[in-house]
Structure 1
Amino acid sequence: MKTLTNYRLLNPKLLIAGFLAIGGIVSSCDSLLEEKPKTIVTENFYQSKSDFDAATNAIYFPLRMVRSEQVAILSAHTDWGYGRGSRAQYNDFQGFNPTNINAAAERWSGFYEGIRNANIVIEKAPLSEELTEDEMNSYSAEAKFLRALTYFDLVRNWGGVPLRTDQNIAQKDVPKSTPEEVYAFILADLADAELYLPTGASAPGRPTQWAAKTLLADVYLQLEEYGMAKMKAQEVLDAGEFRLVPIASVDDIRNKIFGAALVTSSEEIFSFKFTRQTGQGNGLPWILNHPSTGLYNFGGAYAHYGDATNPFHKEWEEGDLRKGLWQLVDFGLGDSTIVNGKYAEPQAVDNTGAGNDIPVYRYPELLLIFAEASARVDGLTEENLEALNQVRRRAFGLDPGTVSDKDYVLEELTSENFLDLILQEKAYETQFEGKRWLDLKRTGRAEEFLMKNKGITIAEKHYLWPIPLEELNFNEAMSPSDQNPGY
């Protein structure tokens, strides 16, 4: 570990590779940890700081692996995204085919593997005779942050789910909890994470107090507790730890915000880290890119795409650099087909070996969370309008902090159309980050926008994913009646 720490100053991405590799090594012990977590000899393991470094790193491994597919699927669920081949099932909103039901089950398993590994750290850290109290609190807080983030993914996509915790870690059969119970659990985890996480990341990709506050703001926004959402977002803004990355071109977006060689940036609040290494890389750039663009050195699967005739794209103002990430590529679906080059990677080691990180929270999203929460509490104000305008200015290559002719003007807006602008700005800013579909569901506007931009209706069952049959068949605390509607 000392060698890695020293080498970080020379090549931070290789430090991350070492950190990820440790996660992979621990993950190889899956069967032992999954079947009988308490059979590990506690007096010999889960004692030292290095033990808990390895155990904490193991939480990240499955969560990173599931993230790229999760983002791709959520992007096809939107009013602007489409899936090709079997992935078309994700954007027609009439339900999943057997292939995609199985794929959803794999994502479920990946999430719960991460939760299980977090539960082990949370259970064992207080029992260690070697950790200081500060170290114990720190490891537990990091694990609770990741556990809360994962349950937030689960509850928004599956609804009520089994709450597997450090308190029932030995139980195979765990009943389905209500969404309200899951959210209460998430908030409790984040209260501890916010209290004990550091203000500065211990290494790139590790959560901070600011990441916990940002996640809290997002959770409160989901729960329509707008006063709390505003307060938590405001605390991060007031800290002054983050700022928007200046850009002047489309390539600046690719390289300075989402670049494969980028270690971190001034706007990164929390990301899942990847590196150019087999088994430790990101598969999303290969999923999205097309060989003709030259943005990915292994071509690309172009499994997800857009359409320039979709009103979402047609109404997007010219000059917005984010729109320039889309390129026309006719691969048999018509000359209005567009593919997105947000994640460019010229030196990937294989189809899943890209070095691009996947952002979970960036500063522009925090600004928009604040703008929405503030508007819902206080109405339209100069402060929340400025938060929106900062994101908009940057998108046109302007100084985010300087008034411009691209600004929205207070006197020309109502609170209602201000909220519409925030929703749309967030859609432009976070494409292929897995945000739009969840925002449309949260605001109750999915049906409206899917009809407007794709001309389709949403089957009721497509608002939630199916609970895996293995969970229903082998978890004796659940039954077929626990399945989500329509499956």
Structure 2
Amino acid sequence: MKKILSLAACVAVLSAVWGCKGFLDRQPLSELSPDQFFTSEKDLKLYTNSFYNVIPSAEDIYNEGIDNVVKTTLEDQVTGKRTVPTSGGGWDWGELRKINYFLQNYNKRGIAPATASKYVGLAKFFRAWFYFNKVARFGDVPWYNQVLSTADEPLLTKARDPRTVVMDSVLADINDAVARLGTARSTEEVTKWTALALKSRICLFEGTFRKYHTEFSLPNADKFLNEAVKASEDMMAASGYSIYGSSPESAYRDLFASLKAVPEEVILARKFSADQQVFHNVNYYTITASYGRPGLEKKLVNSYLMKDGTRFTDKADFNKIQFYDEMQNRDPRLAQTIRTPGYTRIGNTNKLVPDFGATVTGYQLTKFVTAETEDSYNKSLNDMPVFRYAEVLLNYAEAKAELGTLTQADLDKSVQLIRKRVGMPALLLTKANADPDPYLAGQYTSVSGTNKGIILEVRRERRVELVMESYRWNDVMRWKEGHILAEQFKGMYFPGLGKYDLDKDGTIDVVIYEGTKPTEKGPQYLKLGTEAVLEGGKNGGLLLINANIAKTFTENRDYLFPIPIQERLLNKNLTQNPNWADGL
């Protein structure tokens, strides 16, 4: 992003480590005092540009590894290997201090309120985002809206503020940001629309977390769900954003492969540039073995509907359908997310099958993948969406479904716009509630009531549409469905030893063998029991991924992360999150 690339060194020093009090207690260097620095709008702009540093990197967006995308290694969150860290662990506050310093000092030299207003809005946006991420990770956290000094002992050593207090403050911040920020759309600057998109995201998360996590006795779930609806409605009514479309066979692919963020749909993006030598690595990530051979997990592949809107999982023995047949007549987004029969790279006509050297499940990722000219290490330069309009529409539909106020008209102006991009039929409210999908119900066990069917369908739509954009962890956490992460991850189905023509073009693509590896050139060879572990061994079955790695999720502990030991030693009033043993 241009703003990130052009930061002045004098602003960067504010990220320095803090003193012995732990966090938030180091004063800015004297050369950055408000009397000398905040003297013009240019100064306000320069300083607030530094806030953009917190925008996720490309790797933080596409490098998903919870249960949508499976790799040869597993995240600690799904193996039960998380421990209480000595330090770090996400308990960092430097960015907050920068924001609070600005809000406390921007007007010391009499800059006109009208001039400063949008920069105040920007600071409030980033403080809301900062605290939302902290609450999603830790629950209760200390709320600070001022710069602290070493003399502020009571504030430095105070207990965590209740989640309810913090989230009310977050809501006030994001509302203030919405009111102050401009309406000119931009994929690289935070605007009123970015703030509404963030509000929609925050309030959906908090409302559903409070609804499903009854163990925390958090009130006012509906308040936040209604705020999510309102933010989404405001965007839908006045922003001018739309769902990008070209043809059903390519529009979804093209949205993510576009070198420049598509302004019709993308609200804010992480920017990349060949001219400024700022690249990322998504092509290389998907075509080599260097990053764990990522691939879609079988349950997600099963969740894609048929092209006519019927359920793939209603087919007899759906988990025993071989690759070519299971890929026929599916939601077109599937063929624009992974390699399916007939797949070709952008700019090439050669048909490619899944490469098992690059995907552990057989469902090889193609979302975000661009032309072969960008296949070298760290040479991808397509922009990465951080907020896009499709998420806002999904937030709207989900919030209304959870409130019990969703209508068919609501679906038609939200979910149906997303489905229309790829030529999928409408999602029908009455039909969904009359016949809830048992396959999804087996995954999302907390959903009940008369709106069960439509809630499940909106979750399906969300997972399919937003895959590989790193929403999944927060979704599983807020829905209280952590048990999903402890289930065996699986991949493609093979009926046993033998030769397989994956795309039915008359050429053998994969051979599963025992004993000595065949010498015939051409196919990919997978040795049974090592390179291809099948559920039934010689009798075939789904690929088992990381079958020897134990997976677990502790229901009464793992929805929140632990507070680092060092922080609790520095501040005796910091309590630990439930059932995290740190010896203190």
What is the TM-score normalised by the length of structure 2? 0.66
Q: How far is 1:198 from its partner?
A: 0.9
Question: Residue type matched to 2:330 in 1?
Answer: G
Question: Residue type matched to 1:212 in 2?
Answer: A
Residue in structure 2 matched with residue 9 of structure 1 by the alignment: none
RMSD: 3.4
Q: How far is 1:418 from its partner?
A: 0.8
Label 1:90 to 1:215 Cα distance change in 2 as closer, same or farther (>3 A).
Answer: same
Q: What whole-Å deviation, never above 9, does each CA across 1:225-265 have from its counterpart, x for those lacking one? A: 3222222211111115110000436654344x224621442
Query: Which one of 423, 427, 430 corresponds to residue 408 of structure 1?
Result: 427
Question: Residue type matched to 1:436 in 2?
Answer: R
Residue in structure 1 matched with residue 170 of structure 2 by the alignment: 186
Matched, 1:471 2:471: no
Q: Which has the larger radius of gyration?
A: 2
Residue in structure 2 matched with residue 216 of structure 1 by the alignment: 199
Residue in structure 2 matched with residue 297 of structure 1 by the alignment: none
Residue in structure 2 matched with residue 13 of structure 1 by the alignment: none
Question: Residue type matched to 2:399 in 1?
Answer: A
Residue in structure 2 matched with residue 162 of structure 1 by the alignment: 142
Query: Which one of 387, 397, 420 corresponds to residue 361 of structure 1?
Result: 387
CA–CA separation in structure 2 for the residues paired with 1:138 and 1:462:
39
1:235 match: secondary structure: helix
Label 1:418 to 1:282 Cα distance change in 2 as closer, same or farther (>3 A).
Answer: same
Label 1:343 to 1:457 Cα distance change in 2 as closer, same or farther (>3 A).
Answer: same
Gaps of 5+ in 2: 19-25, 208-220, 306-328, 340-353, 434-450, 491-543, 545-550
Q: How far is 1:273 from its partner?
A: 3.2
Label 1:281 to 1:149 Cα distance change in 2 as closer, same or farther (>3 A).
Answer: farther
Q: What whole-Å deviation, never above 9, does each CA across 1:156-189 have from its counterpart, x for those lacking one? A: 1222233343353775835433322321221121
Query: Which one of 117, 124, 128 corresponds to residue 144 of structure 1?
Result: 124
Q: Is the 8 A contact 1:205 1:271 kept in 2?
A: yes
CA–CA separation in structure 1 for the residues paired with 2:370 and 2:44:
33
Label 1:160 to 1:273 Cα distance change in 2 as closer, same or farther (>3 A).
Answer: farther
Residue in structure 1 matched with residue 438 of structure 2 by the alignment: none
Which structure shows the higher helix fraction? 1
Q: What whole-Å deviation, never above 9, does each CA across 1:441-476 have from its counterpart, x for those lacking one? A: 212233257548779642244322333444344x43
Residue in structure 2 matched with residue 49 of structure 1 by the alignment: 41
Q: What whole-Å deviation, never above 9, does each CA across 1:270-298 have from its counterpart, x for those lacking one? A: 33334347785445x2684223xxxxxxx
Matched, 1:320 2:331: yes
Query: Which one of 300, 303, 311 corresponds to residue 299 of structure 2?
Result: 311
Residue in structure 2 matched with residue 206 of structure 1 by the alignment: 189
2:579 match: secondary structure: coil
Question: Residue type matched to 1:312 in 2?
Answer: L
2:387 match: secondary structure: strand
Q: What whole-Å deviation, never above 9, does each CA across 1:378-403 have from its counterpart, x for those lacking one? A: 54412222122221222x2x3xxxxx
CA–CA separation in structure 2 for the residues paired with 1:353 and 1:26:
30
Q: How far is 1:426 from its partner?
A: 0.5
Query: Which one of 375, 388, 391 corresponds to residue 415 of structure 2?
Result: 388
Residue in structure 1 matched with residue 442 of structure 2 by the alignment: none
CA–CA separation in structure 2 for the residues paired with 1:228 and 1:442:
17
What is the TM-score normalised by the length of structure 1? 0.78
Moved more, 273-282 or 114-123: 273-282
Residue in structure 2 matched with residue 96 of structure 1 by the alignment: 82
Question: Residue type matched to 2:559 in 1?
Answer: Y
Residue in structure 2 matched with residue 435 of structure 1 by the alignment: 471
Matched, 1:37 2:17: no
Q: How far is 1:367 from its partner?
A: 1.0
Q: How far is 1:329 from its partner?
A: 2.9
Question: Residue type matched to 1:392 in 2?
Answer: R
Q: Is the 8 A contact 2:284 2:375 kept in 1?
A: no
Residue in structure 2 matched with residue 270 of structure 1 by the alignment: 268
Q: How far is 1:333 from its partner?
A: 7.3
Label 1:350 to 1:193 Cα distance change in 2 as closer, same or farther (>3 A).
Answer: farther
Label 1:158 to 1:359 Cα distance change in 2 as closer, same or farther (>3 A).
Answer: farther
2:107 match: secondary structure: helix
Label 1:393 to 1:351 Cα distance change in 2 as closer, same or farther (>3 A).
Answer: same
Q: How far is 1:217 from its partner?
A: 2.4
Q: Is the 8 A contact 2:293 2:358 kept in 1?
A: no
CA–CA separation in structure 2 for the residues paired with 1:250 and 1:466:
45
CA–CA separation in structure 2 for the residues paired with 1:165 and 1:76:
34
CA–CA separation in structure 2 for the residues paired with 1:304 and 1:192:
44
Q: How far is 1:427 from its partner?
A: 0.7
Label 1:349 to 1:423 Cα distance change in 2 as closer, same or farther (>3 A).
Answer: closer
Question: Residue type matched to 1:390 in 2?
Answer: L
CA–CA separation in structure 2 for the residues paired with 1:484 and 1:348:
46
CA–CA separation in structure 1 for the residues paired with 2:116 and 2:48:
12
CA–CA separation in structure 2 for the residues paired with 1:238 and 1:150:
27
CA–CA separation in structure 2 for the residues paired with 1:418 and 1:237:
21
Residue in structure 1 matched with residue 366 of structure 2 by the alignment: 341
